[in-house]
């Protein structure tokens, strides 16, 4: 029996900070992504940011008190659920009035210092999770993984990258969540590449202190050090296998230890970790990431592309519609080549019938065969076909076809395209499609540089009458 295609590639997707989900362009982009790809969960920063307004301290009768307000939280999560995607909750960053210091990250100033009062932090977590359970039901919220913080191994994201302080935060948070319901999923440590020892230290800590943990998480990027130019970043890339190695690292590290067998979630991955690197907009990015999507589910339980759209402001408000943002979509729902890679994967069958270093072949329950093939350099692939006649549809993205960035550059790189230019770019960003009837035997594919192609092969059931119609 054929192996089943893992759903790890679309189990989760990343997003800009929580507050951005209130915007029209964001919700229109997410609606498109959900129609054509269909992610299971969505994760981003900023749930406890001051612009969401959950933690609201005040003084009354000479006493310090806190109101927990969920006006924006409810609007965002309602929108997510209506669009068929569930939250993968990241608890952070620190509300300004609860922070022990003033260190912040990003243009929107997320506070990255520990709480000045861990009891007040626990009350914030308790109130938030209890509210979600009350509003959406415990059975629903049990399906939402809850991750404690983001990249605490980096000084930019956690003051002094203080591991002991993070372990304390994690312990307080995890125990608070489990007091609400023991079946809620909580995990961490959400580390970035470069400090792998944090994973084993985390495992040792939670085991030694009997701290709950239901999954472990880390991030993966494959870019070299950054060289900055105005409004952009230049970086080279390590081979794509680097990402798969990072995906596999937690299972290898935890083997034989107290956390062996726990689900492993890669809660962020991409080529570059910069939101202004043009590689994200290229056909090369799609061809480079194709083997990662095809094989990542073999080594982890989920891997979350960072991010679904360019409504994203970590480095400031974008100055151009194509600016190297993380998104699969630009503002105004223009599709990048990597968007098409994901959309192609969404049209694959559920049963794997063949795979190689440059292709993946699946079959669905109706007998339709799908072939995803990719190439960084031109090559030819020959694959067998079952006997009989077939209707073959091929969708292609490469340097020439379905390449939004190339069309935009040839248009003159307009920073703010007119409505007519947007319509033109939207049309030119679609894959090149061909169709034909083919006899069984073999399928010959010629792939160009930086190409991703999807071939859908369906049996022909002839229903045409025997008399001429023309």
Cα diameter, the chain = 93
Q: Catalytic site residue 268?
A: yes
Q: Is 64 helix (H, G, I), strand (E, B) or coil?
A: strand
Q: Cα separation of 276 and 324, whole Å?
A: 4
Contact indicator for 336, 327 with CB cutoff of 8 Å: yes
Contact indicator for 138, 129 with CB cutoff of 8 Å: no
Q: Measure CA of the first residue to CA of the last residue in the chain; give whole Å.
A: 45
Residue 162 is inside which H or E element, if any? none
Taken in order 414, 420, 425, 428, the sign of the CA dihedral is negative
> How far out from the chain centre does Cα 38 lie?
12
Q: Is 260 helix (H, G, I), strand (E, B) or coil?
A: coil
Q: Is 425 helix (H, G, I), strand (E, B) or coil?
A: helix
Per annotation, catalytic residue among 268, 314, 451, 456: 268
Q: Cα separation of 17 and 124, whole Å?
A: 19
Q: Catalytic site residue 456?
A: no
Per annotation, catalytic residue among 151, 171, 451, 456: 151
What are the counts of helices (DSSP H) followed by strands (DSSP E) for the chain?
A: 11, 22
Contact indicator for 91, 52 with CB cutoff of 8 Å: no
Query: How distant, in Å, are the alpha carbons of 247, 257, 409, 425 from that of 420?
Result: 42, 59, 16, 9
Q: Which residues pair with 389 in a beta bridge?
A: 439
List active site positions.
151, 268
């Amino acid at each position: 029996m054929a192996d089943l295609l893992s759903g790890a590639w679309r189990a989760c997707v990343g997003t800009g900070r929580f507050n951005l989900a209130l915007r029209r362009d964001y919700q229109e982009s997410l609606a498109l992504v959900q129609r054509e790809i269909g992610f299971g969960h969505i994760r981003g920063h900023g749930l406890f940011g001051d612009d969401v307004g959950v933690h609201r301290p005040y003084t009354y009768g000479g006493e310090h008190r806190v109101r927990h307000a969920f006006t924006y939280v409810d609007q965002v999560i309602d929108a997510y659920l209506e669009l068929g995607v569930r939250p993968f909750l990241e608890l952070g960053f620190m509300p300004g009035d609860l922070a022990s210091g003033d260190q912040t990250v990003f243009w929107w100033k997320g506070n990255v210092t520990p709480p000045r009062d861990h009891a007040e932090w626990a009350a914030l977590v308790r109130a938030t999770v209890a509210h979600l359970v009350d509003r959406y039901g415990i059975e629903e919220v049990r399906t939402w993984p809850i991750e404690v913080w983001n990249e605490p191994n980096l000084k930019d994201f956690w003051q002094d990258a203080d591991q002991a302080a993070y372990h304390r935060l994690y312990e307080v948070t995890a125990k608070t969540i489990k007091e609400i319901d023991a079946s809620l999923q909580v995990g961490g440590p959400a580390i970035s590449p470069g400090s792998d020892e944090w994973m084993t230290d985390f495992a040792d800590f939670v085991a030694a202190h009997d701290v709950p943990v239901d999954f472990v998480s880390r991030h993966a990027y494959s870019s070299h050090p950054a060289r900055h130019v105005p409004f952009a970043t230049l970086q080279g890339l390590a081979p794509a296998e680097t990402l798969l190695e990072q995906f596999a690292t937690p299972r290898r590290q935890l083997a034989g230890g107290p956390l062996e067998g726990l689900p492993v979630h890669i809660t962020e991955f991409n080529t570059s970790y910069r939101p202004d690197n043009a590689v994200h907009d290229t056909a090369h990015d799609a061809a480079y990431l194709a083997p990662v999507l095809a094989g990542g589910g073999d080594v982890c339980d989920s891997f979350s592309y960072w991010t679904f759209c360019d409504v994203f402001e970590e480095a400031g408000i974008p100055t151009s519609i194509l600016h190297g943002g993380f998104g699969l979509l630009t503002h105004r729902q223009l599709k990048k080549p990597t968007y098409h890679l994901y959309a192609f994967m969404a049209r694959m069958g559920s049963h794997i019938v063949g795979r190689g270093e440059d292709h993946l072949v699946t079959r669905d329950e109706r007998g339709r065969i799908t072939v995803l093939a990719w190439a960084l350099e031109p090559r030819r692939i020959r694959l067998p076909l079952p006997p009989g006649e077939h209707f073959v549809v091929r969708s292609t993205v490469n340097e020439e076809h379905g390449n939004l960035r190339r069309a935009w550059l040839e248009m003159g790189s307009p920073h703010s395209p007119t409505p007519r230019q947007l319509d033109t770019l939207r049309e030119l960003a679609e894959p090149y499609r061909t169709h034909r009837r083919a006899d069984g035997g073999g399928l010959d594919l010629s792939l160009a540089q930086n190409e991703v192609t999807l071939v859908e092969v369906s049996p022909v059931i002839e229903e045409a009458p025997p008399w001429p119609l023309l």
